[in-house]
Each structure stands twice: as C-alpha cells, then as structure tokens.
Structure 1
Amino acid sequence: MPVIDVQQDIENLTLTIVAEFAAPVERIWRIYADPRQLEKVWGPPTYPATVVDHELVPGGRTTYFMTGPDGERYAGYWQITAVDEPNGFSFDDGFADLDFNPAPGMPVSSNVYSFAEHDGATRVTYVSTFESAEDLKQVLEMGVVEGFSSALTQIDDLISV
C-alpha cells in the first residue's frame, strides 16, 4: 500500500494524503500528464475512469467520468491553476453532470499535488482544501480516503510494467 499518511484537519479544511512510489519523480509525473495513464489510476478499481479531455497547463481543464459496477457514470472536472513539471501541479476539483457542468451544491476542492525524490523513491503529497468544514465532512462520508487510497495502489501496478 503506497499511502503512508492521512491527515484530516477539519479546522483548517484540509485533507492531506502522502504516498510513496518506487519510481523516479519524472515517471510519476508522466502518469498524471498522460490521460491514458491517468485513467488507469484515477478512481478506485471498481470505478474505473475515462478521461475525456486533459490539458495539464495553467487555465487548462480535465474532464472525466468514473463508471460504477452498475454501469452508472459519475463525472468530474479539474480546472488547472498551476503546473511545475515534473514537481507537481494545482487544480480545482469538482463534481459535474454528464455534460461536465459543475454540479450545484457539491463540494469543490483546491488541490496541490507535489512530487519529490525521497530515499530513491518518489514521495507524493496530495493536499485538498475545501471551502467549508461541511464540504470536507461530506467527501469524507462519501469515502474519499478509502477510494483515493485504493486508486493509488494502481500506480504501483502501472510502474511495475
């Protein structure tokens, strides 16, 4: 399991997940930069992702949907705010309807993904900041920690090929 730490800070409206992968920083970067690789690791194994658009540049947008075991599709988007290749990127992440319009009343988080070499591996720090404690609690109740953690295990499979 690549996840080595999870911190839920309701007071500061943040969820921080730290993971380590046995690959160079550039390899982990490519997973997030390439939509075909990203869809192999974005979403838990039982909710595989399909990336529709992926423009990893400031001001760019990524749209995707995850398909549940029952065939139901759940859409989302990233609005890219900053890119520091290969060290990380920032984006706003939100839920969407199937036309990729933001879903009213659903949480939007500001995210910073940072990639750094650590003892011959890559340590990735994923920080999500929410607009309210209620928004953070809502995604926690939806199982974001478990889902994200299981999604990250797929990176180990991808880099071992």
Structure 2
Amino acid sequence: MSQTTTFTIDKNTLNVKRVFEAPVDTLWKAWTTAEILDQWWGPKPYRAETKSLDFSEGGTWFYAMVSPENEKHFSKSTFQQIDPEKAFTASDTFCDENGTPSNQFPGSRWKVSFTPQNEHTMIDINIVHENEADVKQILEMGFKEGFTIGLNQLEEYLEGNL
C-alpha cells in the first residue's frame, strides 16, 4: 500500500515523514544494514553501492550513487548518536572516492527517528543544513523527487521481504 511522503521546509531545515507498514525492528535494519540499503537507497535508474559501513557512534557509511553509465557520486555519513530502534543522527557530506569532503555541495546533519504506530512505523527525518541557500541547492538538485523514489523502493523492498 503506497504511503504519502511529506516534505516541509523551515528555513535551513528539511523534514521528511512517512509511515511504513512494517515494525520498527524491520525498518531499523533496512536503514542500518549495507546489503539492504544498497537495494533501496539509490533512486532508479541510479543505485547505491556501499564501500563500507560501520554503524556505530563515530562510525561511517561510505557509499556511491552509481548512474546507469557507471558514473559514481560519493557520499559519507558519520554517525554521532545511536539510540537503537528509536533514532540516530549523522553528519552527511558529498565527497570524492577517497572520502575527502566536497566543497561543491552542502553537507547536512540528519536525525532519523522511528516511531511505532501499531503494526506500522513512522519515519521522521530531520535534515539540517547550514543555511537556506543550501536547502534550495539540494532541492534544485532533485532531492525531493529522488528521495521519494528511494522511499518508494524501500516500501517495495519491505513488501517483498516481510
């Protein structure tokens, strides 16, 4: 069953919410396991390819978004706080293939929260940028459309794996 993804913007903060028909533990695993992230994170026709994932406080997820032409666009998330099956925070930055941050694109700080709602789970993603111009740049790059596709792919993954 397709759910609605809501996006709201307040100055330098972008908030994304969506309810999934799956329990918290299943959603948590989908957000914290490389093999599962690679199945839904990259919006088709792109795909995600994890280089490394250490889901621990201070650990990182280093991955590439791979285009149909096999062009790779790298990102790195560094986990600050993890409250198992409730929330995690991470700083996210675009980078090169060695993990060196890019100054061409803005970084952000993410807080991803998981709230049970009977047999469903609300995912609440708060993405804080340095300023409003950074939010505008990310939206112009197609973040809303791409992230919605990714969340739809997560829903498809869950439907086939529950």
Q: TM-score range by the shorter chain?
A: over 0.9
CA RMSD, Structure 1 to Structure 2 (Å): 1.1
AA in 1 matched with 2:37: L
- Unmatched runs of 5 consecutive residues or more in structure 1: none
Q: Which residue of 2 aligns with 1:84?
A: 83
Where has structure 1 moved over 2 Å in runs of 4 or more?
1-4
Once the two structures are superposed, residues 69-124 of structure 1 have per-residue CA deviations (whole angstroms, 9 ceiling, x without a partner) of 22211100001111011112110011011222111232010000000112420010
Q: Which residue of 1 aligns with 2:3?
A: 2
Q: Which residue of 2 aligns with 1:111?
A: 110
AA in 1 matched with 2:7: V
- Whether the 8 Å CA contact 1:18–1:125 is kept in 2: the answer is yes
AA in 2 matched with 1:21: F
Q: Which residue of 2 aligns with 1:52?
A: 51
Supply the distance in 1 between the matched residues of 2:51 and 2:122 (Cα, whole angstroms). Answer: 28
Report the TM-score when normalising by structure 1: 0.94
Q: Which residue of 2 aligns with 1:20?
A: 19
Q: Which residue of 1 aligns with 2:70?
A: 71
Q: SS in structure 1 opposite 2:99?
A: coil
Q: SS in structure 1 opposite 2:133?
A: helix
- Whether the 8 Å CA contact 2:75–2:99 is kept in 1: the answer is yes
Q: SS in structure 2 opposite 1:160?
A: helix
Supply the distance in 1 between the matched residues of 2:133 and 2:81 (Cα, whole angstroms). Answer: 26
Q: Which residue of 2 aligns with 1:101?
A: 100
Percent sequence identity is 28
- Whether the 8 Å CA contact 1:83–1:90 is kept in 2: the answer is yes
- Whether the 8 Å CA contact 2:48–2:66 is kept in 1: the answer is yes
Supply the distance in 2 between the matched residues of 1:74 and 1:45 (Cα, whole angstroms). Answer: 14
Supply the distance in 2 between the matched residues of 1:22 and 1:117 (Cα, whole angstroms). Answer: 10
Supply the distance in 2 between the matched residues of 1:2 and 1:103 (Cα, whole angstroms). Answer: 34
Once the two structures are superposed, residues 12-55 of structure 1 have per-residue CA deviations (whole angstroms, 9 ceiling, x without a partner) of x1111101111000000011121100111112021100011111
Q: Which residue of 1 aligns with 2:122?
A: 123
- Whether the 8 Å CA contact 1:91–1:110 is kept in 2: the answer is yes
Supply the distance in 2 between the matched residues of 1:146 and 1:18 (Cα, whole angstroms). Answer: 14
Supply the distance in 2 between the matched residues of 1:63 and 1:4 (Cα, whole angstroms). Answer: 26
Supply the distance in 2 between the matched residues of 1:81 and 1:7 (Cα, whole angstroms). Answer: 24
- Whether the 8 Å CA contact 2:61–2:76 is kept in 1: the answer is yes
- Whether the 8 Å CA contact 1:63–1:100 is kept in 2: the answer is yes
- Unmatched runs of 5 consecutive residues or more in structure 2: none
